[in-house]
């Protein structure tokens, strides 16, 4: 079926882009290489994406959606907020250490001028689910009344740093290290 084939090609292009960009960076990932890796012709990419920038931005959005969904899917509203946030933190660490390509791509992208090409409201939409999750925690008085944006920044900044540390190969983090790191964060944001 054509639709399935389209899907496959688009997927293949995304996968190839992720592979190459995460390893070599944006400008060392020519479209011709992406095409080769995806087993399509160079021109074919332009049936699915307007330009290289468009492809990269689309991949960013896609990965953001996917990771956010994955990370919140396992949330269990019946548990205590501490447990839910702990689980979110740990999942985050696990997900990215197990999917380093996605981590590298997202970090690279969000620290590059590329990100300015994404409309602000789209960026907001991508963060919305996590944002909602934490705002509710504040509302439920599970955590201190810190603006959710700050809280996200702190949590994700912390976990992101740890992922980077782990992936650098300089340092093997044990699960106790992660727990410890989480509780350090938690002690910082929990309602005393």
Partner DNA sequence: TATGAATGAGCGTTCATTCAT
Partner DNA sequence: TATGAATGAACGCTCATTCAT
Q: Which segment (4-12, 21-29, 62-70, 78-86) binds a second copy by CB under 8 A?
A: 21-29
The C-alpha atoms of residue 182 and residue 178 are separated, in whole angstroms, by: 6
Does residue 73 touch DNA according to CB under 7 A?
no
- Reading the block at residue 183, the tokens are 């509780």
C-beta closer to DNA: residue 48 or 131: 48
Kindly tell me which residue out of 12, 26, 33, 167 binds a second copy, with binding defined by CB under 8 A: 26
52 binds, among a second copy, DNA, none (CB under 5 to 8 A by kind): DNA
Tokens at residue 158, please? 């912390």
* Residue in 72, 142, 146, 167 binding a second copy, rule: CB under 8 A: 146
Q: Using CA atoms, how far apart are residues 26 and 60, in angstroms rounded to an integer?
A: 12
Any contact of residue 191 with a second copy (CB under 8 A)? no
Interface with a second copy includes 147 (CB under 8 A)?
yes
For residue 29, give the 3-state DSSP assignment.
Answer: coil
Site track for a second copy across 148-187, x = CB under 8 A: -xx--xx-xxxxxxx-xx----xx-x---x--xx-xxxxx
Q: What pairs with residue 143 in β-bridges?
A: 190
Contact in structure between 109 and 60 (CB atoms under 8 Å): yes
A 10 A CB-CB count for 25 gives 13
Task: Give the three-class secondary structure for 143.
Answer: strand
Q: Residues 98, 102, 106, CA angle at the centre, nearest 5°?
A: 135
Helix (H, G, I), strand (E, B) or coil at 190: strand
Q: Does 91 bind a second copy (CB under 8 A)?
A: no
Q: How far is the CB of 108 from a second copy (least distance, A)?
A: 5
Residues in region 17-56 near DNA by CB under 7 A: 27-32, 40-44, 46-48, 51-53
Residues that bind DNA (CB under 7 A): 2, 5-6, 9, 27-32, 40-44, 46-48, 51-53
């Amino acid at each position: 079926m054509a639709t399935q084939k389209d899907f496959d090609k688009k997927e293949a292009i995304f996968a190839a882009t992720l592979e190459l960009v995460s390893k070599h960076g944006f400008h060392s990932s020519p479209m011709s290489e992406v095409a080769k890796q995806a087993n399509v012709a160079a021109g074919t990419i332009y049936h699915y994406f307007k330009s290289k920038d468009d492809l990269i931005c689309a991949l960013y959005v896609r990965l953001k959606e996917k990771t956010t969904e994955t990370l919140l899917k396992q949330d269990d509203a019946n548990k205590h907020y501490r447990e839910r946030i702990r689980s979110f933190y740990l999942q985050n660490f696990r997900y990215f250490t197990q999917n380093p390509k996605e981590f590298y791509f997202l970090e690279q992208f969000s620290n590059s001028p590329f990100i300015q090409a994404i409309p602000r409201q789209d960026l907001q939409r991508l963060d919305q689910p996590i944002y909602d999750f934490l705002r509710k925690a504040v509302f439920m008085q599970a955590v201190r009344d810190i603006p959710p944006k700050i809280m996200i920044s702190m949590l994700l900044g912390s976990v992101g740093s740890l992922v980077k540390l782990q992936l650098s190969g300089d340092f093997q983090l044990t699960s106790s290290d992660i727990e410890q790191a989480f509780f350090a964060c938690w002690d910082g944001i929990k309602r005393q």
